[in-house]
Amino acid sequence: MSYYFSRNLDMPFAAAIEHVTKKLAGKGFGILTRIDVQHTMKVKLGVDFKPYMILGACNPHFAWRALQAEDKIGAMLPCNVIVTEISPGKVEIAAVDPAAAMGSVKNPALAETAKDVQLLLRELISEL
């Protein structure tokens, strides 16, 4: 079982971040965090890395359901979506598979919520 879904798009990196953010909003997700991995690697390690942004996406409705089912699940939230530049004008968008990520927690209510979020993120990736 893969732990993510992905799709390649022909668009500039910055435009892809904006596009994905808007599509996530359309599915009820907000962006809680943005981690610019390229910048962080340069500043902290002095190394060059490709453009790579981690978007910490949260759908409050599903986060609430997950936290009600398993209060320590916050250690696995939010759902991460990454935008990576493959080459100029070409990006890969990848989203965590919440069912795979939360599969180690043996809680049927949590598994049901993870499946619902999985469906939304699969739809999002296919609609990009």
For 39-51, what is each residue's pLDDT tens digit?
A: 999 999 999 999 9
**In total, how many domains does the chain have?**
1
* pLDDT mean across residues, the chain: 96
20 is in which domain, residue-wise? Answer: 4-127
Mean pLDDT of 52-56: 98
Mean pLDDT of 23-43: 97
CATH code of the domain in which 74 resides: 3.30.310.70
**126, burial (CB in 10 Å: exposed 0-12, middle 13-18, buried 19+):** exposed
**Whether the Cβ atoms of residue 122 and residue 27 lie closer than 8 Å to each other:** no
How far, in Å, CA of 122 to CA of 34, rounded?
Answer: 21
pLDDT over 70 for what percent of the chain? 99
Mean pLDDT of 8-24: 98
